[in-house]
A and B are shown apart, each in its own frame.
Chain A
Amino acid sequence: MSGPLTISRRELVVGGLVVAFAGRARARSEGTDATGTSALGGFVRISPHGRISLVMPSVEMGQGIYTAEAALLAEELDVRLDQIEAIAAPPDASLYAQPLFKAQMTGGSTSIRGFWTPLREAGAAARSMLVAAASRTWGVHPDECATKDGMILHASTGRVLGYGDVVELAATLPMSEHPKLKSPGDFKIIGMSQRRIDTPAKVNGSAVYGIDVTVDGMKTAAVVISPVDGGKVKSVDETDARKILGVIDVLHIDDAVAVVGEHYWAARAGVEALNVDWDLGPNAKLSTTSIRAEVAKAADEGAPLNALERGDVEASLKRAVKRLTAEYELPFLAHATMEPINTTVHVRPDGCDIWVGTQTPVVAQKHAARITGLPVEKVALHNHLIGGGFGRRLQADTIEQAVRFAKQVSYPLKIIWTREQDIRHDRFRPCYLDRLEAGLDLQGRPLAWTHRTTSGTVRRYFDEGGWPEGKLDKDAVEGAWDCPYAFPAIRVDWIRHDPPVKLNWWRGVGPTHNVFVVESFLDELAHAAGQDPIAYRRALLADNPRAMAVLNKAADAIDWNRPSKPRSGRGVSLHQNFGTYAAAVVEVAVAPSGEISLEKIVAVVDCGIQINPDTIRAQIEGGVLFGLSAALFNRITFSDGRIEQGNFNDYRQLRINETPPIEVHLVESNESPGGLGEVGTVSAAPALGNAIFAATGVRVRRLPIDRSLLSKRGNA
C-alpha cells in the first residue's frame, strides 16, 4: 500500500478548515520511497515513471466515491481517470478528515459536499507545483506552460515533460495556498458521465474486499457470540472442538469464543463442536413487545426536546375546522450488507496491522491502540473496498472484537462472521414512534403541524462519552423540522428513549424515518382535504422553487393524472435532505390477497452540480429499491433477548423479479453539489405507502407493510 514518501510541508487553509497537505506524514516516513514516489500534498503521489496515485479520503462501498473524488482531483491536476490509480487513505484525520464531520469517516451523504472544494484545490495546487518545476527546468515563465493528460507543454518551443519527469523537483517547491480553480465551463471530467474506476476489477473477481485479504501466516477464525447482547461466557467445553482436524486454537474474550483453523471450514466445524455456557445478562428477557411498550410509555410521559417552533401552533390548531392525528411506527433494521463482517488483524509486540473495510478508520485505529496498549502510530489500518456499507461499518465494534482475539496469538488472524451473526449482532437502525397532529382551514390547507418523535439516539453509541441527557439529537428530527413545506405554524420535538439495544446509522439516517412520516401524514391531509396529493404539495411550495421543480417533473414523467386500474395506484414523496431535492413516484398494484406488486418508479433529483451523472442515476435507482426492500419486508424483532431474524430467508430482500422499471431524471443546476448515496432510500417508503393508499384506501402507518391489512377481506 502506501509507502514512505518525499513530502512537501505545506498546509492549505480552505474555507476556515485546515486541509493539511501531507506535512505530518513526513514524521512517519522512514526514509525515501524505493520507487522515489513523491507526494504533492496529501492527495497526489507521482512516481518518477509518471505513475499517478490519488489518495481517496472516503471509502468506496458501492457509491462510486472513488471515481467522483478522483474526478475532482484529476480535473484540476489535468490527468485522465484512466491514468490514475486510487488508493485508500490511511487513518490520519489531520489530512483526510471529512470537512463536514471534522472526522475521517464516510457517511451521511457528505463526501462530495465536504470535499468538493478541498480536492479540486489539492489537484490544482499539485498541478501548479508541477508546472513551476517544469518552468524552472526550461527557464521559462509558468504562464507559458500548459498541462494535459499528465504532461506539461511549452507551446512556443514544443517542449514536453511528463509529470514524473519533474515531480521530484516539484515536491521541493512551495505549495500555493490559493490555487486557481478552473471555471465550470472548462471542466473536462466533472459533469461528464465517467466509467467507474473500480468496476473492471469487480467484474473479473480480482477486486480485493476485506474478506479477501490474504497475509503470510494468516489463520482464519469463526466465532460464537453471546446470543443475547450483554451476555458473558460462563464456561467453555472445547474438548471436541480441539479434536477437529485443522483446528489450531480456541480463544476466549468476555462475550465470545473463537475457534482458529487452518481454513474457515475447520474453524466453523470447531465452533459447531464448542459447548459454551452463557450468562445471558440483563437483556435475557428482552422482547419486541416489551420494547414497544416502553417506547409508547416514553411517548406518553417523556419530556420533549424542541427542535422547531414557528408560529402559534396552539392557536392555529384551535382555529382549525378539521383536526387530524396519526401515529406512525418504524422497526429496528439490520444493514445486511452482502459482505459479512470480517477483520484481519496482526498484533505484534511492536505494532499492529489491520486489514478491513471500514467507514471509520481513525476510530478503529484508536480502539486497536487501546486494546493492544500500543501507541496509535504503531497501529496501521489498511482500508479496503467494502461490500456494502449502508452505515454498518460506521461502528468499529467488530474490529474491536477481532483485535481482542488477535492480541492473544502471534499470527495474523482473520475473523469472519456468519450471515446470521452479521444480522443478529448488527447495531440496528433505531425503532421510532411518531405522533402527529395537523389542523386544516376551510379550504383544507394546513394551519398548523406538530410532529413528535420518540426514539433512542445513535449518538450514544457513536460519540466518545455518549450523548448527554437533555440535548437534542438533530438526527432524530432531520427531515421533519426541515421539510420542504411552508406550514404557517409548526412544532417538531423529540422524546429521547434509549431502548436496551445498540443502535447505528442506516442508509438515509434521520430522514429515512422522518420523511416517511412527514410525507405519509401530508398525504393524509391532502385526502382529508379532498385534494390531489401533488396539487396539495404544490400549494405549500410557493417559496421553494427547487422542490417545486422536481415535484412537477416527477408528476409529468409518470403522467400523474392518468387513470389507474382497480387496486392500482400511484404515490408521491418529496424531500430535501443532504443538500439535494428529490421527488419520487411509485406505482403499485395490490392483489386481493394483499400482495404488493411494484409496477413503476420515477425519481427526479436536483443535486446541484453533478460530478458523475451516470453514478447519480445508479445511486438513485439502487437507493430507492433499497428503501422499498426494507419497507416491504424488513424488521428486526426480539424474543427472549435474541434477534428472531438471521439470514436472507427470514430477513428477505427485494429480488430482480420484484423490481419494476425505474426512470431517473436529473435537473440541471449550478448550485453546490448535494449528497446522493441516501437520497433515493429516503424517497422510497413514503411513495410506496402513499401508492398503497391510492390503490386500496388503507393508510400504511407501520413498517414493514402488513399485507393482511391490504387483503380484500381485511379491507372490506
Chain B
Amino acid sequence: MISLNINGRDHAVKAPDDMPLLWVLRDLLGLNGTKFGCGIAQCGACTVHVDGRPVRSCMLPAANVGSRKVTTIEAIGQTESGRRIQQAWLDLEVVQCGYCQSGQIMSAAALIERNPAPDDTEIDAAMAGNICRCATYARIRAAIKSVSRK
C-alpha cells in the first residue's frame, strides 16, 4: 500500500512501486483533471504540486511521494494563488481545447505563489515546460501578468 496525501485528504492505494502519480490520480482515485500528454515530462499536461512545487506527475512514481502533500487542479482553487490564476484564465479567455490547461494553471499558480510579480522572462522560464498545441501562450502570459502584484 502507498500512502498519499492528496488535496488535503489521506489515501492508501494499492499500486505497483513504479506506477506514476499521474495514473494513480486518474485510474485509482478518479481525479481526471490531471492529464496524460507525453509520458516523458516534455509537455507539462500532468503538472501537479508536491509541497507547492510544480512536478510532472507522469514520471514521478507515486511510491516516491512519501509524506509530501500533493495538490491537483481539482483543489488548486482552494489556494489564493490558484483561485486568482483560475479567475484570470476565465477573465482573459485563455482556454481553447483546454487539455493542457490544468497543467498550465498548476505551473502558473506555483509561479505566482513564490513570485507574486514575475516579469516576462520569469513567466517564460516558469511556463516553458508546458506545451499548448492551441498555442494560447500570449494569453497565458497576459493572464499571469494580470494577477501580478506590482
Residues of A within 8 A of B (CB): 61-64, 195-196, 198-200, 202-209, 211-212, 214, 220, 245-246, 263-266, 269, 336-340, 385-390, 416, 418-419, 614-615, 618-619, 621-626, 629, 647-649, 653-657, 659, 661-662
Q: What B residues does A624 contact at CB under 8 A? A: 135
Which residues on A sit within 8 Å (CB–CB) of B95?
Answer: 196, 198-199, 202-203
* Minimal Cβ-Cβ distance residue in A for B124: A657
- Partner of B74 from the list A205, A265, A336 (CB cut-off 8 Å) is A205
Known: A265-B15, A621-B138. A648 touches B38 (CB 8 A): yes
Q: Mark interface residues in B52-88 (1 if CB within 8 Å of A CB, else 0).
A: 0000000000000000000011100100000000100
Q: What are 5 A-B residue pairs whose CB atoms fall within 8 Å in the complex?
A: A202-B101, A220-B27, A269-B18, A648-B40, A662-B138
A265 touching B23 by the CB < 8 A rule?
Answer: yes
Question: Chain B's nearest CB lies how many Å from the CB of A350?
Answer: 29
Given A205-B33, A338-B37, A649-B42: A387 in contact with B97 (beta carbons within 8 A): yes
Q: Is the CB of A648 within 8 A of B42?
A: yes
Chain A interface SS verdict (over half): loop
Whether A626 and B101, one on each chain, are in contact in the complex, defined by CB atoms closer than 8 angstroms, is: no
Q: Contact check, B135 vs A621: say whether CB atoms are below 8 A apart.
A: yes
B96, A64: Cβ atoms under 8 Å? yes
Q: Is the CB of B33 within 8 A of A206?
A: yes
Complex CA gap A202/B32 in Å reads 12
A205→B34 contact, CB < 8 A: yes
Specify the chain B residue showing the minimal Cβ separation from A614.
B93
Query: Closest 6 A-B residue pairs measured CB to CB?
Result: A205-B33, A387-B99, A62-B97, A202-B98, A625-B135, A62-B96
Chain B residues with CB below 8 A from A661, complex form:
138
Q: How far is the CB of B122 from chain A (nearest CB, A)?
A: 11
- A659-B93 in contact (CB<8A): no
A207 to B99 alpha-carbon distance, docked (Å): 9
Task: Please report the C-alpha to C-alpha distance between residue A534 and residue B28 in the assembled complex, in whole angstroms.
Answer: 59
Inter-chain contacts of B130 with A (CB < 8 A) = 655-656
Give chain A residues whose Cβ lies under 8 Å from the Cβ of B15: 263, 265
A390-B135 Cα distance, complex, nearest whole Å = 12
Interchain CA distance A508-B140 in the complex, whole Å: 24
B99 touching A388, Cβ below 8 Å: yes
* Of the residues B89, B93, B99, B136, contact of A209 by C-beta under 8 Å: B99
The reply to whether B139 and A621 form a contact with Cβ atoms under 8 Å apart is: yes
Whether B134 contacts A615 by the Cβ 8 Å rule is no
Asked if A195 and B138 sit within 8 Å, CB to CB, the answer is: no
Interface residues of B in 94-116 (CB under 8 A from A): 95-102, 105
Q: How many residues of B contact A (CB 8 A)?
A: 57
In the complex, A8→B89 CA distance in Å? Answer: 41
Q: Is B39 an interface residue (CB 8 A)?
A: yes
Residue of B nearest to A269 (CB): B16
* Best-buried of B18, B31, B39, B93 by chain A (most CB within 10 Å): B93
From the candidates A195, A212, A622, name the one contacting B96 in the complex (CB within 8 A): A622
CB distance from B6 to the nearest CB of A (A): 13
Known: A204-B73, A266-B16, A649-B40. A654 touches B90 (CB 8 A): no
Q: Is there an interface contact between B16 and A653, defined as CB atoms closer than 8 Å?
A: no
What residues on A are CB-neighbors of B90 within 8 Å? 195, 199-200, 203
Task: Please indicate the chain B residues that have their CB under 8 angstroms from the CB of A214 in the complex.
Answer: 30, 32
Chain B window 14-32, contacts with chain A (Cβ cutoff 8 Å), 1 for yes, 0 for no: 0110111001001110111
Bound together, the chains give a CA A614 to CA B136 distance in angstroms of 13
What is the minimal beta-carbon distance from B40 to any residue of chain A, in angstroms?
6
Contact with A618, one of B72, B96, B100, B131 (Cβ below 8 angstroms): B96
Of B97, B125, B136, which is within 8 A of A386 by CB? Answer: B97
**Complex formed: what's the CA distance from A199 to B101 in Å?**
10
Distance of A625 Cα from B101 Cα, bound (Å): 17
Tell me how far the C-beta of B56 lies from the nearest C-beta in chain A, rounded to whole angstroms: 12
Contact A622 B27 (CB under 8 A): no
Question: Measured between C-beta atoms, what is the minimum distance from A631 to chain B in Å?
Answer: 13
On chain B, the residues within 8 Å of A195 by CB distance are 90, 93
Q: Is B2 an interface residue (CB 8 A)?
A: no
Closest to A648 in B: B42
A263 & B100 in contact (Cβ 8 Å cutoff): no
Chain B 119-150 per-residue mask, 1 if CB under 8 angstroms from chain A, else 0 = 00001110110111111111111000000000
Are B138 and A336 in contact (CB-based, < 8 A)?
no
Looking at the assembled complex, report how far the CB atom of B85 sits from the nearest CB atom of chain A, in whole angstroms.
9
Q: Which residues of A contact B123 (CB under 8 A)?
A: 656
Instruction: Given A205-B72, A618-B93, A647-B38, verify A659-B138 contact (CB < 8 Å).
Output: yes
Residues of B within 8 A of A211 (CB): 32, 35-36
Complex Cα gap A458–B90 (Å): 38
Tell me how far the C-beta of A585 lies from the nearest C-beta in chain B, rounded to whole angstroms: 16
Q: Does B4 contact A (CB under 8 A)?
A: no
With contact pairs A655-B128, A656-B137 given, residues A615 and B89 touching in the complex (Cβ less than 8 Å): no
Complex CA distance for A296 and B97, rounded to whole angstroms: 38
User: A62-B134, A202-B98 given. 20 additional CB < 8 A pairs?
Assistant: A62-B97, A202-B101, A203-B101, A205-B33, A205-B74, A246-B16, A269-B18, A338-B37, A338-B43, A339-B37, A339-B97, A385-B98, A387-B97, A418-B39, A419-B38, A626-B133, A626-B134, A649-B40, A657-B125, A659-B141
Given A265-B15, A418-B39, decide whether A204 and B98 contact each other with a Cβ distance below 8 A.
no
A580 to B101, CA, bound (A): 29
